[in-house]
Structure 1
Amino acid sequence: MPILPNTEFLVAHYMPYTELPPEESGRESLWVDIPNSLFDPKKGHDLYGRYFHEAVLAEKLGFDGICINEHHATASSMMPVPSLIAATIFAQTTKLKVCVMGTPPNMDSPNRLAETYAMLDVMSGGRLEVAIPLGTPMEYWVNPVAPATARKRHREAIDIILKAWSSREATSHDGEFYHYKYLNVWPRPYQDPHPPIFIVGSGSLETVDLAVEYGFGYASTFSPIPKQLAALDYFQKKTIESGRTVRPSMFPLTVMTYVAETDEQALAEFEPHAKYYFDFLLRPGEFANLPGYIGLDELRRRGGHVLPSSHGRFDWDDLQNFYRVAVGSAETVADKIEKWAEEVGSNRIIFEVHTGDMPHWKLAKNMTLLAEEVVPELKRRRDTNQPRAEAAE
């Protein structure tokens, strides 16, 4: 079945710091306690310039948006304050949406975060989207929030943000964790009543329940396909039971993607950077095992591990078998995207276009081939109602 009408195509860029000395490859973890003496500000400055150039390229190539994220004390991301990244991208583009995926509101002042996002929405003319995560376990080692209270704080913070955005007069909030004599967001969001919102999760049913309760979309992070599909089924079932309609944009399809002239060339160009990403940048060490971060039932469901085993271990066969990774020629990638879009029923496709220490020329090649060969082919199949090739089965 072809892709759905009005399908949007976005890219995701996580802006890592890729200039670590080779001898650091033996570190147990690239998170939390990595010394910032390893960060070279001049190299970081150059990387920021490159990454913003790549965001502008995404608009020039015709992509609908770019997704950015937030992480702390890690070389895997140079975006501890993604609102600054979003503001810079908005200033250099005119059409590109930016989805901030995003600041855990329980680690910030919720009203201040509501103000920040409202400013971005107004400044961009309504191009902001917001995805709200609980944050990885590693974030809680460097933020003053007890993990056992994280979910309660998370829910209350969301309530505050929504109240601040929707109220047209000054209001207040007196809760368990937050107290505001006045909530009065000024300016208020450009989009009425607020930008599109997604809850970010890795398959926890408790997180899916939160998305359903608020009527938000649910954005699945890098988790195995069966787990994503189980979360989607649960999300759809609970949304319908709540009396709401499941829209195709509510469950984005995220795919790690690399396109080259042939399947063999694509893998040869992509694999070393995937190895760097999974073996090195995503290595959390013992900081992933955070007591209280998830409930006991969910911990049992995950076999006693908070994060998937892919964090800190690269295995190409496992990666292909369990995750949405499309690496190959334009036809191969289009076949996989079409199959997965049908499987998920989504009209929102996010291409993860930069992996690990991928150089600029490869990212530019990847995005260009996606924009000029893969996306047009998907649209052609949609418009002619031509089914995908059997080879994609």
Structure 2
Amino acid sequence: MPILSDTKFLVAHYMPYTDLPDECLERDSLWVDIPNAYYDPHKGHALYERYLGEAVLAEELGFDGLCINEHHATPASMMPVPSIIASAIFARTEKLRVCIMGTPPNLENPHRLAEGYAMLDVMSGGRLEVAIPLGTPMEYWVNPVAPATARDRLHESIDIMLKSWETQTGEPKGYDGKFYHYKYLNVWPRPIQQPHPPIFLVGSGSLTTVEMAARLGFGYAATFSPIPKQMKALEIYRQKSVEAGHDPDPSKFPLTAMVYVADTDEQAVEEMTPWADFYFGQLLKSGRFIELPGYIPVDEFRRRDGKFIPESHGVFDWKAIEAVYRVVAGSPETVANQLEKWAEETGSNRIICEVHIGNMPHDKVVSNMTKLAKEVIPILEERRDGAPKVEQSPQSAYLDPPEMMRFRKWTGR
């Protein structure tokens, strides 16, 4: 089945610091306790300039948006404050949307975070999107929040952000919660996008997070979880969304894939392998810091067979990676075929392509993005535009027959 008519194409960039000496790469972990003496600020400055240039290229090539993230005390990402990165991108672009994926509000002052996001939305002319994570276990080793309270704090902080964005027609009200207390919730400026920018919850398959996203009418973005687990989360998300009275439209469950395009399949795999090795085998090494008592509920921990995240995290093994992630390296035709297949499986009209992999050099990132924009996406659009038109309701356009039957059962349609 061709991609959906209103499919948006975004790219993701994690902006890592990759100029690391050999003794650094021999460490068990590149997170939390890695000495910052390994970081050269002057080389970091050059990387920021390069990465921001690649963000501008995304707009020039016609991509709809760019996704950035937040991590702490690691060379895996030079974005401890992604709002600053977003503002720099907005200043250099005119149409590109930026999704911050994202700042854990439970590690922040949530009212202040809501203020910052509102300001970014106004400054950008309404181009901001927000994805809210719990944060990886590693983040809690460098932040003063007890992991056992993380989920309750997350729920409360999201409630504060939503209330902060509300239009105040009378005197603003306060907030008195278990973890946060405010005399007034009153965001100035208000965001352009009303009542707030699009919001996604980011998770690795926890049913609590999936159900919360559905209940609030947010999108759900799956990360660091096996594909079958993502598909199960999608099924539950759609069901719970309908039960909560929300339309689980195709944009609310993004399809994320690591993509590399070359002239031939053989060239693509050969070129991508060392960069993927550096990403999976080095940048994701978290050692003992992945184990964090209290980070996930006991029932969820048992459901995961005692694993916080997949074993592929920090180990480079193609078979294990392909079982966990959507990864494709190939010719434009091969990549188009795989993206089309995944889009059909998920029913998503929001495709996010990770175009910078590990320590990929600038010229290869430019080539990858250019081929994706000018050779892969046109194939997908040509197939879509040439396909027979089928009349479907907006709610059912992305559901396959078995899911359509369940949808009718849930809604009585």
Q: Structure 1 length normalisation: TM-score?
A: 0.97
Equivalent residue number for residue 159 of structure 1: 159
Q: Is the 8 Å Cα contact of residues 254 and 349 (structure 1) preserved in structure 2?
A: yes
The corresponding residue for 1:219 is 221
The corresponding residue for 2:406 is none
RMSD: 1.1
Query: Which residue pairs with 2:310 in the alignment?
Result: 308
Q: CA deviation at 1:23?
A: 2.0
Q: Unpaired runs of 5+ in structure 1?
A: 388-393
Which residue does 1:133 correspond to in 2? 133
Report the counterpart of residue 396 of structure 2 in structure 1.
Answer: none
For residues 322 and 309 of structure 1, the distance between their equivalents in structure 2, rounded to whole angstroms, comes to: 9
- In the other structure, the counterpart of 2:176 is 174
- Pick the aligned partner of 1:379 from 368, 378, 381: 381
1:325 equivalent in structure 2: 327
Q: Map of 1:149-298 to 2, 5 A cutoff?
A: 149-169=149-169, 170-298=172-300
The separation in 1 between residues aligned to 2:100 and 2:147, in whole angstroms, is 23
Moved more, 167-176 or 224-233: 167-176
The aligned amino acid for 1:4 is L
How far apart, in 1, do the equivalents of 2:168 and 2:128 lie?
20
User: Could you tell me which amino acid in structure 2 is paired with residue 151 of structure 1?
Assistant: R
- Amino acid of the structure 1 residue aligned with 2:371: L
- Whether the aligned pair in 2 keeps the contact of 1:2 and 1:386 (CA below 8 Å) is no
| Contact 1:225/1:323, CA 8 A, preserved across alignment | yes
Amino-acid identity (%)? 67
Check whether the contact 2:7–2:350 (CA below 8 A) recurs between aligned residues.
yes
- How far residue 292 of structure 1 moved from its aligned partner, in angstroms, is 0.2
Structure 1 Cα separation of the partners of residues 225 and 359 of structure 2: 21
Residue 344 (structure 2) aligned to one of 330, 342, 345:
342
| CA deviation after TM superposition for structure 1 residue 235, in Å | 0.5
Provide, for residues 89-137 of structure 1, a one-character-per-residue CA deviation record: whole Å limited to 9, x for no partner. 0000000000000110000000100000000000000000000000000
Q: Secondary structure at the match of 2:258?
A: strand
Sort the Cα spacing of 1:7 and 1:146 in 2 relative to 1 into closer, same or farther, 3 A: same
Paired amino acid for 2:224: F
Runs of 4+ residues deviating >6 angstroms: none
1:316 is displaced (CA, Å) by: 1.1
> Does the 8 A contact of 1:86 with 1:100 survive in 2?
yes
Aligned residue in 1 for 2:4: 4
The amino acid of 1:204's aligned partner reads S
- Between the aligned partners of 2:388 and 2:274, the Cα distance in structure 1 is 35
Q: Distance in 1 between matches of 2:321 and 2:85?
A: 29
Moved more, 367-376 or 320-329: 320-329
Whole-Å Cα distance in 1 between the matches of residues 196 and 246 of structure 2? 18
1: distance between equivalents of 2:201 and 2:62? 26
Distance in 1 between residues matched to 2:201 and 2:323, nearest whole Å: 26
> Does the 8 Å contact 2:256/2:326 carry over to 1?
yes
The CA distance in 2 between the partners of 1:114 and 1:320, in whole Å, is 37
**C-alpha displacement at 1:329, in angstroms?**
0.4
- The CA distance in 2 between the partners of 1:320 and 1:226, in whole Å, is 12
Which secondary structure state, in structure 2, belongs to the residue aligned with residue 130 of structure 1? strand
Equivalent residue number for residue 49 of structure 2: 49
Displacement of 1:386 in angstroms is 7.7
TM-score for the superposition, normalised by structure 2: 0.92
Find the counterpart in structure 1 of residue 367 from structure 2. Answer: 365
CA-to-aligned-CA distance 1:186-239 (integer Å, 9 cap, x gap)? 001011111000000011111101101211000111321101001001111111
Amino acid at match of 1:65: G
Write the distance in 1 (CA, Å) between the matches of 2:354 and 2:43. Answer: 23
**Aligned counterpart, 2:38:** 38
Measure, in 1, the Cα distance between the counterparts of 2:300 and 2:50.
40
- Give the letter for the 2:246 counterpart: R
Rounded Cα–Cα distance in structure 1 between residues aligned with 2:5 and 2:131: 23
SS at match of 1:223: coil
TM-superposed CA distance for 1:337, in Å, is 0.3
